[in-house]
Amino acid sequence: MEQVRFGIVGIGNMGSGHMYSFLNNYVPGAVLTAICDIKESRLEWAKGVCADKGVQFFSDYKELLASGTVDAVIIATPHYLHPIIAMDAIDAGINVISEKPIGVYTKKVYELIEKVKSRPDVTFGIMFNQRTNAYYQKMRDMVQSGELGELKRCVWIITDWYRTQAYYNSGGWRATWAGEGGGVLMNQCPHQLDLWQWIFGMPKKIFAKCDIGKYHDIEVEDDVTAMAEYENGSTAVFITSTGEFPGTNRLEITGSKGKLVYENEKLVYTKLSVDEREFTKNSSAGFGKIEKEQINIEVEGGTGEQHVGILKNFTNHLLKGEELLAPGIEGIRGLSIANAMMLSSWKNEWVDVVNDGEEFWTMLQEKIKTSKAKEDAGIVFSTEGSYGV
């Protein structure tokens, strides 16, 4: 393969952004050859933009998959469709990049993962563009290399997602159980949930309070406070909201050898002169203090190339064998955390993060039955739940 032919399924906000990345030649070795959307108005708009670019257009994604025009597809549809289209693409032998989240409920994503494992000849990636951020990459390296010592705590306050009621009123599918499958955890936070586990690791148990429509007239969560515990005894706190202004985005990780804080595109490492665990065992001073050094960490690449960076990496993987930065099957990790948070809130108890997904799926179906999105023409219902189109 000398060039990767890409198709885009769903030409809304995210899909159109990817379209321009290809048309502007931001992704060496890649070319846009097909676009699919069920909305005729979006297709007509895309035809105008892509005139004389050699792009073919489809209103049915299955026709695109069977057309022979693409080597890979980007799935940029409503959330419920992500695993469904991905499995169809994999069956057709076509490589896939899914927008986040990988799906709405893990039960379906487990099916997708089995499909991926059965086709080692097909590459499955996910658009976790925040993994291109050099600050997060540096934090991950420091944590996983043991530079921070024994891990104690991870605290992420990510409340700068402010949204008005007008935002939620902009689409009949938005912020509904049937249309979107959730609120701030499903729409705004998949990147942070992924980075949390990517850097600090997967928690074992979670207890969460997910407030439904606390600040907006919506049927899903817009404010979340969660606690998590790990196998080794370390803990984590995750706080997010779309109802605070100006909000905060601060990630703090503490280990026995120091503390990392990332905020406002600045990464600060407070390095201890001696491991705290050793100090507390050996010090004779009841109120002893450990000498410390504050280091402002500089990184090359800043916040990274984001979406274009993922597209470049995926293309280079297919053409040159470059290691994938965001393998698609890893998408279930952040989704497992999100599902566990909601399940914990619904049950008001601690829950295991990794489970078979049955209980969450069952409770989600009850939410869908009364969802306002049922009246929206863009929602299709099936025996496995609903999904927006």
- Please check whether residue 239 is in contact with residue 157, taking contact to mean a CB–CB distance below 8 angstroms: yes
Mean pLDDT of the residues in the chain: 95
**pLDDT at position 208, please?**
98
pTM for the model stands at: 0.95
Q: Which tokens in the block code for residue 61? A: 């994604």
* Structure confidence by residue, pLDDT tens digits, 323-380: 999 999 999 999 999 999 999 999 999 999 999 999 999 999 999 999 987 554 454 4
Torsion angle in degrees (nearest 10) through CA of 14, 171, 376, 216:
130
Tally of structural domains, the chain? 2
* 18 and 167 co-located in one domain: no
* 145 and 258 co-located in one domain: yes
* 238 and 200 co-located in one domain: yes
* 211 and 359 co-located in one domain: yes
* 43 and 156 co-located in one domain: no
Rounded mean pLDDT, 207-234: 98
Q: Which tokens in the block code for residue 139? A: 């934090």
* Domain that includes residue 361, residue range: 131-302+333-388
* Structure confidence by residue, pLDDT tens digits, 372-388: 875 544 544 443 444 43
User: What are the angstrom distances between the C-alpha of 194 and each of 46, 119, 176?
Assistant: 32, 24, 22
**pLDDT at position 375, please?**
53
* 115 and 254 co-located in one domain: no
* 154 and 185 co-located in one domain: yes
**pLDDT at position 382, please?**
42
Residue 368: alpha-carbon gap to chain centroid: 22
Q: Pairing mode, if any, of strands 30-36 and 4-9?
A: parallel
* 62 and 164 co-located in one domain: no
Q: Pick 1 or 11 by higher pLDDT.
A: 11
Cis previous bond, 246, omega within 30 = yes
Whether pLDDT at 72 is above 50? yes
Whether pLDDT at 389 is above 50? no
* 137 and 286 co-located in one domain: yes
**pLDDT at position 172, please?**
80
Round to whole Å and give the CA distance between 131 and 307.
10
Q: Which tokens in the block code for residue 236? A: 């984590």
Round to whole Å and give the CA distance between 113 and 333.
12
* 274 and 158 co-located in one domain: yes
User: What are the angstrom distances between the C-alpha of 293 and each of 268, 271, 358?
Assistant: 10, 5, 48
Work out the pLDDT band at 273, boundaries 50, 70, 90.
very high
The proportion of the chain whose per-residue pLDDT surpasses 90, expressed as a percent, equals 93
Round to whole Å and give the CA distance between 167 and 10.
20
* Structure confidence by residue, pLDDT tens digits, 122-178: 999 999 999 999 999 999 999 999 999 999 999 999 999 999 999 999 878 889 999
Q: Which tokens in the block code for residue 93? A: 């032998």
* 252 and 319 co-located in one domain: no
Query: If 0-12 CB within 10 Å is exposed, 13-18 middle and 19+ buried, where does residue 154 land?
Result: buried
Rounded mean pLDDT, 59-84: 97
Rounded mean pLDDT, 58-68: 98
Q: Pick 229 or 386 by higher pLDDT.
A: 229
Round to whole Å and give the CA distance between 179 and 172.
8
* Closest among 241, 238, 239, 237 to 221, alpha carbons compared: 241
CATH assignment at residue 53: 3.40.50.720
CATH assignment at residue 205: 3.30.360.10
* 196 and 121 co-located in one domain: no
